């Protein structure tokens, strides 16, 4: 019995000792520290991810190499899916701009169409010819002819009515507005919500309000002590602390190009009241509105146009 124990101990500890000796010889203390730091930074790289928003189609110029046309399209990278929000009016312009920006259409997983207007959906067929392996989200009120384009190309169609999750951290507001129905995109980031709009026909302030309402969550539920403890505490019915979501950025068409300064100022105040941290109005926002937003927002106003890229660091 004694002999058997010694044999077992020998078999277990000898390889371990040899292994540790070898490791000690291979790496001195300094190497171990460097190795640890490298592993740590790789782990943190894996956790924190940036969110990149690139305007690929807009009537406002930014990158001189790109073509500008009336319309809107924005590429969203950094989520678990790569999303193209709206596809502009002319497919050839969209694809040429993407090529100049070195964006490969095949890398896109999801297309979101905001609303029926041609300057937002016109590029659809040309894009689907390049990449039919996408899922297209569109307001269910869009005509059958647009839905058929998606189906005929062999792409997947998702008709949106009420708010839905598109992928982790990305949501559609659902169809908003009475006359021209429109969906906007809400992205949940560590800095707050990022809202992307096409034309904002239902009203930009309404969209922001709705987005906050959709993602209002009860973050820190307080446990019901009365149920758990032996004593009964008065007034300890199920309490929940409600935290409403902060809005970090609103980007896209604000649809203010036809408004006078007085009306625009009302909207700027409305957006400010909603505690929106940064604004990036483009497309149908108009130059007057962009100037008035810049006056109020200062450094938190982002001038965007075709080719502009906004990087939100450590967004997820």
Q: Closest separation between CB of residue 313 and Zn ion, Å?
A: 30
**Minimum separation from the CB atom of position 204 to Zn ion (A):** 13
CB of 122 to Zn ion, least distance (A): 10
Give 68's contacts (C-beta < 8 A, 6+ positions apart): 58, 59, 60, 61, 305, 306
Q: Residue 61 carries which DSSP code?
A: B
- Tell me the residue number closest to Zn ion, measured at CB: 199
Q: Which is nearer to Zn ion, 88 or 174 (CB)?
A: 88
* Backbone conformation region of residue 181, classed left if phi is above 0, alpha if psi is from -120 to 50, else beta: beta
The DSSP symbol for 191 reads: T
**Given the rule CB under 5 A, which residues bind Zn ion?**
117, 119, 199, 284
Measured from the CB atom, the residue of 49 and 181 that comes closer to Zn ion is 181
Nearer CB in complex with Zn ion: 77/119: 119
Q: Which is nearer to Zn ion, 69 or 212 (CB)?
A: 69
Looking only at the bridges linking them, the beta strands covering 170-174 and 185-189 are antiparallel
Upper half-sphere CA count for residue 17 (Cβ side, 13 Å): 6
What is the distance between the alpha carbons of residues 198 and 119, in angstroms, rounded to a whole number? 10
Alpha-carbon span 270 to 264, nearest angstrom? 10
Task: Tell me how far, at minimum, the Cβ of 198 lies from Zn ion, in Å.
Answer: 6
User: What is the smallest separation between the CB atom of 181 and Zn ion, expressed in angstroms?
Assistant: 11
Nearer to Zn ion, 117 or 181 (CB): 117
Quickly count: other Cβ atoms within 10 Å of residue 85's Cβ. Answer: 26
């Amino acid at each position: 019995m004694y002999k058997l124990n010694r044999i077992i101990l020998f078999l277990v500890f000898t390889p371990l000792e040899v292994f540790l000796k070898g490791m000690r010889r291979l790496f001195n203390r300094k190497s171990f520290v460097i190795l640890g730091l490298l592993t740590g930074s790789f782990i943190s790289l894996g956790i924190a991810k940036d969110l990149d928003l690139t305007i690929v189609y807009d009537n406002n110029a930014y990158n001189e190499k790109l073509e500008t046309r009336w319309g809107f399209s924005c590429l969203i990278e950094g989520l678990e899916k790569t999303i193209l929000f709206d596809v502009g009016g002319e497919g050839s312009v969209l694809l040429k701009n993407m090529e100049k920006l070195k964006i490969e259409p095949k890398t896109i997983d999801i297309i979101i169409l905001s609303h029926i207007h041609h300057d937002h959906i016109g590029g659809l067929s040309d894009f689907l010819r390049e990449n039919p392996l996408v899922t297209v989200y569109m307001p269910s009120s869009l005509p059958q002819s647009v839905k058929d384009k998606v189906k005929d190309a062999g792409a997947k169609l998702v008709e949106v009515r009420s708010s839905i999750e598109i992928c982790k951290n990305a949501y559609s507001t659902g169809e908003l507005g009475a006359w021209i129905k429109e969906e906007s995109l809400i992205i949940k980031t560590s800095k707050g919500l990022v809202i992307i709009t096409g034309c904002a026909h239902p009203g930009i302030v309404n969209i922001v309000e709705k987005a906050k309402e959709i993602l209002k969550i009860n973050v820190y539920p307080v446990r019901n002590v009365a149920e758990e403890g032996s004593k009964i505490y008065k007034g300890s019915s199920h309490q929940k602390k409600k935290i409403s979501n902060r809005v970090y950025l609103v980007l896209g068409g604000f649809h203010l190009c036809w408004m006078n300064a007085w009306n625009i100022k009302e909207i700027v105040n409305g957006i400010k009241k909603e505690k929106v941290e940064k604004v990036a109005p483009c497309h149908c926002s108009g130059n007057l509105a962009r100037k008035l937003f810049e006056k109020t927002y200062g450094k938190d106003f982002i001038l965007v146009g075709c080719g502009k890229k906004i990087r939100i660091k450590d967004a997820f």
